[in-house]
Structures are given as structure tokens and as C-alpha cells.
């Protein structure tokens, strides 16, 4: 089971989300929580490195629904979470490179306050950073 599948399983079994997976997207549904889509990418490198597909980001923006990006680092319960405004800032960061419709993100350019080291921390970040 890959890290995205493990994240899906944990959110379903331990946190009572109804989770559907389509490629690199997890759709989270819970009674006390608006439906939320997360675009998940994973890196198994010591220093994290991810490619975010421009078309996937455009698609998320166009749906006008709640969404975010999760960059997993080596494990399903460790990584970085970004809400839409934070994604926009990351993509516009001069340290983010762009090649063949992918934005290239290096772990060293990410602020540490975006980091989570457990699923419970991840859930808190989603709840906190999605409030409007």
C-alpha cells in the first residue's frame, strides 16, 4: 500500500471521514466538515522534492470548492499542508521552478509551520486553515 493509500485508510478508519481516491486526489466528507478535496503528492527523497501539475491546480481552482495541497515526505502521516492562498504563494515563490507544466517544489523552500508529523496535526491544520 503506497503512502496516499495509507493516508486514505487512516482518515477513513481513525477519523471517520468518508474518503474517495482518484489518482492523486482525496475527497474528504464528514458530517461536521464541508466536503474538501486534497491534491496529494509524495516524495521518498531525504530532502523532499515534488512536482505539482499546473492543470491539476487550475482544475481545483475552477471547481470553486474547498481544496488544499498535501506534500507527503517519506511517510503517510508526515508532510506539509497548504490551503489555496498558501498554494498560490508557493507557486509564485521565485524559488519554485517550472518545467513541462509542473511546478517544482523543494522542501528547503517551505515554511516549517506548514509541517505536520501526525494525522491529528494534519486534521487540525485543515480545520484551522479552511475557516473563512
pLDDT at 83: 93
On the question of pLDDT at 102 being above 80, the answer is yes
Q: pLDDT-derived band of residue 1, with 50, 70 and 90 as boundaries?
A: low
Structural domain span for residue 18 = 3-130
| 128 Cβ neighbours under 8 A, 6+ residues apart | none
83: CATH: 3.40.1350
Entry pTM? 0.90
Q: What is the pLDDT of residue 50?
A: 96
- Work out how many domains the chain is built from and give that number: 1
Query: What three-state secondary structure class fits 34?
Result: strand
For CA atoms 33, 50, 115, 13, give the dihedral sign. positive
| Cα separation values, 110 from 50, 71, 72, 86, Å | 12, 10, 13, 10
Amino acid at each position: 500500500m503506497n503512502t496516499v493509500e495509507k493516508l486514505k485508510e487512516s482518515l477513513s478508519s481513525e477519523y471517520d471521514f468518508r474518503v474517495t481516491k482518484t489518482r492523486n486526489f482525496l475527497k474528504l466528507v464528514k458530517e461536521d466538515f464541508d466536503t474538501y478535496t486534497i491534491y496529494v503528492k509524495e516524495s521518498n527523497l531525504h530532502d523532499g522534492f515534488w512536482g505539482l501539475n499546473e492543470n491539476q491546480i487550475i482544475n481545483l481552482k475552477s471547481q470553486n470548492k474547498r481544496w488544499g495541497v498535501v506534500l507527503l515526505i517519506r511517510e503517510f502521516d508526515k508532510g506539509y499542508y497548504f490551503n489555496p492562498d498558501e498554494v498560490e504563494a508557493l507557486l509564485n515563490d521565485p524559488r519554485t521552478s517550472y518545467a513541462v507544466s509542473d511546478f517544482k517544489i523543494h522542501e528547503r523552500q517551505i515554511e516549517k509551520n506548514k509541517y505536520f508529523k501526525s494525522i491529528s496535526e494534519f486534521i487540525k491544520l485543515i480545520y484551522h486553515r479552511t475557516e473563512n
